[in-house]
Amino acid sequence: MSDDDKVNTGHNIENKELIKNARKPVGELGHQILDRMNKSHENMAQWGVSHFDIEEDDLILDIGCGGGRNLERFATQIITGKVIGIDYSEVSVEKSSKLNSEAISEGKVEVIQGSVSEMPFEDNTFDIITGFETIYFWPDFINDLKEVNRVLKKGGLVFFCNEAVYREGKMEKYDDLVELLDMKIYSEDVLKESLEKTGFNDFKAYLEEENDWICITARKS
């Protein structure tokens, strides 16, 4: 899911069988793509997380946690808080758990297998909910955002970060990738509208022009 993986070049997707695993990592290729994404998403993730603050007692949920690099990052920023990762891929859960094994044994991190569409958490649980490179694959964006809203505390922060953003007339380069991964690439306007429709306010969008990255934040109303 990055230039490093040669997937943004549209007609030149290399190693389709590997790249297909970005949607739901499985088996050996799943392990391989998660190793790659932990590295290839790092610059974007560092840029993205610079747009919000974490308190030492925050309870943070990372949806679609993949290889678990962002769980590892957040675990260094909390003291009494906790970081939970959820992902519907068994391989992602395995990888995230392995990378964060020490923090898991300290009770700082927990990794759960499950879908964004039906999360095993009480209402109003989390201070911060994040999703890096994952919303493209959510099966029903509006209902899934309602589920995110349900488990977020009132006033809590939602954050999404994507390295692909919809721009009218400029989407041809993504055609092959969109078909291969059956993914949806959202515009800033659709993200704003969808979040406002599902119980969020204070929408902010940040664009990184050089790489065309987008990250957004909003709060539960």
Binding residues for ligand SAM, rule: CB under 6 A, are 1, 22, 24-25, 37, 41, 63-67, 87-89, 92, 115-116, 132-134, 137-139
Q: Which is nearer to ligand SAM, 37 or 202 (CB)?
A: 37
Minimum distance from residue 42 beta carbon to ligand SAM (Å): 9
Q: Which is nearer to ligand SAM, 77 or 221 (CB)?
A: 77
User: Mapping DSSP to helix (H, G, I), strand (E, B) and coil, where does residue 185 land?
Assistant: coil
Q: Which is nearer to ligand SAM, 136 or 168 (CB)?
A: 136
Burial of 164 (0-12, 13-18, 19+ CB in 10 A): buried
Minimum distance from residue 67 beta carbon to ligand SAM (Å): 6
Q: Strand runs (DSSP E) across the chain, as ranges?
A: 59-63, 82-87, 109-113, 126-132, 152-162, 200-208, 213-220
Helix (H) or strand (E) holding 195: helix 188-197
DSSP 2-14: -GGGT-TTGGG--
Angle, alpha carbons 28-184-200 (nearest 5°): 110
User: Mapping DSSP to helix (H, G, I), strand (E, B) and coil, where does residue 132 land?
Assistant: strand
Minimum distance from residue 88 beta carbon to ligand SAM (Å): 4
Minimum distance from residue 36 beta carbon to ligand SAM (Å): 9
Q: Which is nearer to ligand SAM, 137 or 203 (CB)?
A: 137
Residue nearest to ligand SAM (CB): 66
User: Mapping DSSP to helix (H, G, I), strand (E, B) and coil, where does residue 201 land?
Assistant: strand
Between CA 173 and CA 42 the distance in angstroms is 22
Minimum distance from residue 181 beta carbon to ligand SAM (Å): 9
Q: Which is nearer to ligand SAM, 25 or 156 (CB)?
A: 25
